Chain A
């Protein structure tokens, strides 16, 4: 029988990309809703093409659907045109597979990947006709559960979620589902379920905690308000990343998704310890997948999806110990089938240049370096173990090898940054250009093209910079001005192009990233004023956000430009990620002195992640 769509033809034909709303893709899972115990709607609160590119959902979708008694479906944010029609016609938000309303589901799971999707979360709830406030939900409504990196500071969203899952989804979701199935049979209250769920490791139920504040606005205490809720919630990690869930048949979208390729996650975590990087701390310890598993999955996924490209995924691919073997295997297998290989997050050295020369068209590709800071001094502050010598040598080798395009990524507004550090960004670009023109003319390919991009630094929870002061919009823009001006002073300025990020949205991201429960009201207010798709520059309405904060009586400076005291209680302190606050503080102090800390493979810095008893913490113990 043909699937019946939730939205009429004439509506679908009147919106952009109707394929976003019809489901039915290759490997989408259909089940009989009468024969399952749990219906789970998995949501990425952004447009379909972005959401479908997310690996985490593909992993959990596959994992849930392996169980006969659970049917996991997908839902994404309807784009603004569809949003308007759905409101006008009172069409409840629906899941792609069954096209049934989300409000009939048992769970709505939302992955929270970046701060600028918070208003989209409210849109999803609103369109689904689920009360926005968790306290107003009844037995008629699904449980709304959040996960992903932003769930490590869930407090700004505390009012809107029934539960948060802290950590990697492969570990505790089945326990939660089993608990739910039992609870459903007994027909008990929502509160009963939430209290039981709070006892599952990694589950945080915000309504079971009370927060008190000091006069200066900082947190005085955050305590459970019932016996069932634990004092601290511990991050859940998969310790065997080889023998675990990974999709061999990911859903293949009809539309060209942002990530239009097979994604092979080779490891989790990162050994580097860059002090600005949240992922580098959250996903410790670093765990590698077994080479034979990766080979098997690469072939199976390519065969099952028909993609013509495969991409390796990790925070720092060069640190994967068997990268050479894996890449050699892929080149051999993919070459004969006309399949492209993409290798992001590679350090530029002789090996990677050799590999890249084999897998991509040098004339069309560019090299990427992420020095993050212009001067060695500041790179030491942020613990980015990349020296000027390494960058220049990598560039020289690449230029000799035929490349002539280089992309450089930096951050502005890092702690301790001086004007000298900013100017050095321009100087580094100039030195790279000079390396290019050192190559004999007959070996060069025209002019070189260096693109310098700067983003503005946002201090994130669970990093050594969580105490740091964040710049104001004016300070950010001044920094971009200094860099821009200095680039114009360089001899090879015509070979250097400079892009910088917008400052308004960065300041907002900073507020939400380190916000507390009180910030939640402003998110709702901004949403009610019409803020949506804030990460899309064409949709971002800065003025409405400012009004929302003002009306909620929130002081932006309290969340952004204030340097935190060492003993301040942070909204996210109740979460245990393995990496200790003591270690982060030590790193914060070392940063201010410009002292570097070696990576996990060189020497254990005692961050605390060894408590998980695995990964790099065990393998590299000397």
Chain B
């Protein structure tokens, strides 16, 4: 059985790196006595993969992890067992059974929703929202992106799918995953450079709200939250 688990990461847990979150779940799955499948070989490891790593300092209400299990009675029971052994700052929100042969979450991720704001003691000068909207009107936003191969100039404007700002909060939907990935920090830095604003270090608070798969036919983009590709089971 292929299972997709959606969880929240908040509070002090935002200081736990992606690698440590993976190690955390390996232990949590043993504690919760989930009947997980292991790979073959002399040192078997759990069949487990994560949709998209979250940067240190970022909170989220939509993290996804796929696991393969031999047995599970129901979504509710598995969620309950996991939540009983979670540390404060991680809650399991949903446990869904995936159809046979479905792709894993990592390869499906196409977009993400973010909520962005500035730290209370590092707010930008009044009127920044209007400037930000003006910035978004640019037909292209070119910047230098560091990749494994070196630096590359890219236009990130097409990767911004939706973006609104109100009451000091930016709601952003942007490309995510292995094809194109727009880190919100990069967008805000580009804005600051454009507007001549100096950002204080770590002043942007990033919160991920959802991760989507793309299920359109290639002509029109259709996004659906990753959890909706699976179903509750055994209820």
Query: Chain A interface (Cβ within 8 Å of chain B)?
Result: 2-3, 5, 9-10, 12-14, 18-19, 22-26, 252, 254-256, 302-308, 337-338, 340, 361
Contacts and interface: CB of A to CB of B under 8 A. Distances in A.
Interface string B39-82: 00011100000000000110000000000000000000000000
Interface string B15-39: 1110010011011111101000010
Contacts of A252: 27
Interface of B: 10-13, 15-17, 20, 23-24, 26-31, 33, 38, 42-44, 56-57, 85, 87-89, 119, 122, 200-203
Q: State the 3 A-B residue pairs at the shortest beta-carbon distance, nearest first.
A: A306-B27, A306-B30, A10-B202
A3 B20 contact: no
A12 B119 CA distance: 14
B88 A9 contact: no
A306 B201 contact: no
A13 B16 contact: no
B27 A24 contact: no
B56 A256 contact: no
Contacts of A337: 30
B31 A254 contact: no
A18 B27 contact: no
A26 B201 CA distance: 31
Nearest to B56: A13
Contacts of A14: 201-202
B189 to A, nearest CB: 15
B123 to A, nearest CB: 14
A26 B13 CA distance: 12
A307 B12 contact: no
A3 B27 CA distance: 23
A3 B31 contact: no
Nearest to A303: B31
B11 A25 contact: no
Contact of A19 (B15, B28, B122, B202): B15
19 contacts: A2-B12, A5-B12, A10-B202, A13-B57, A14-B201, A19-B15, A19-B16, A24-B12, A24-B89, A26-B27, A254-B16, A254-B20, A254-B87, A305-B31, A306-B31, A306-B85, A308-B30, A338-B38, A338-B44
Nearest to B201: A10
Contact of B20 (A256, A302, A304): A256
A307 B27 contact: yes
A590 B16 CA distance: 56
Given A2-B11, A12-B15, A24-B12, A361 B43 contact: yes
A23 B57 CA distance: 16
Contacts of A22: 12, 15
A10 B31 contact: no
A607 B88 CA distance: 51
Contact of B31 (A9, A256, A304): A304
A18 B30 contact: no
Given A19-B15, A22-B15, A13 B20 contact: no
B119 A255 contact: no
Given A3-B11, A254-B16, A256-B20, A13 B202 contact: yes
B141 to A, nearest CB: 25
Contacts of A304: 31
A18 B15 contact: yes
A18 B24 CA distance: 16
Contacts of B29: 306
B152 to A, nearest CB: 26
Contacts of A9: 57, 119, 202
B42 A3 contact: no
B24 A254 contact: yes
Nearest to B29: A306
A48 to B, nearest CB: 12
A14 B15 CA distance: 11
Given A18-B56, A24-B87, A308 B26 contact: yes
A286 to B, nearest CB: 33
Nearest to B20: A254
B28 to A, nearest CB: 6
B122 to A, nearest CB: 8
B27 A10 contact: no
Contact of A25 (B28, B42, B87, B122): B87
A19 B27 contact: no
Contacts of B200: 10
Given A24-B87, A308-B26, 12 more contacts: A13-B15, A13-B56, A18-B56, A24-B88, A26-B31, A252-B27, A254-B16, A305-B27, A305-B31, A306-B27, A306-B28, A337-B30
A10 B30 contact: no
Nearest to A27: B87
B83 to A, nearest CB: 13
Contacts of B16: 19, 254
Contacts of B17: 19
A306 B27 CA distance: 4
Nearest to B21: A254
Contact of B42 (A2, A307, A361): A361
B197 to A, nearest CB: 17
Nearest to A10: B202
Contact of A255 (B12, B20, B42, B88): B20
Contacts of B44: 338
Contacts of B15: 12-13, 18-19, 22
B87 A26 contact: yes
Contacts of B202: 9-10, 13-14
A24 B26 CA distance: 18
Contacts of A338: 38, 44
A12 B201 CA distance: 12
A308 B44 CA distance: 11
Nearest to B39: A338
Contacts of B89: 24
B88 A2 contact: yes
Contacts of B10: 2
A307 B28 CA distance: 9
A304 B10 CA distance: 23
Contacts of A256: 20, 23
B15 to A, nearest CB: 4
Contacts of A25: 87
A10 B28 contact: no
Contacts of B11: 2-3, 24
A305 B10 CA distance: 22
Nearest to A7: B15
Most buried by A among B12, B23, B201: B12
A196 B42 CA distance: 59
Nearest to A362: B42
A26 B87 CA distance: 5
A338 B88 CA distance: 27
A395 B47 CA distance: 38
Contacts of A10: 119, 122, 200-203
B12 to A, nearest CB: 4
Nearest to A307: B27
Most buried by A among B13, B15, B88: B15
Nearest to A339: B30
A524 to B, nearest CB: 34
Contacts of A3: 11-12, 88
B163 to A, nearest CB: 24
A281 B87 CA distance: 41
Nearest to A340: B43
Contacts of B201: 10, 13-14
Contacts of A306: 26-31, 85
A13 B30 CA distance: 30
A330 to B, nearest CB: 16
A533 to B, nearest CB: 22
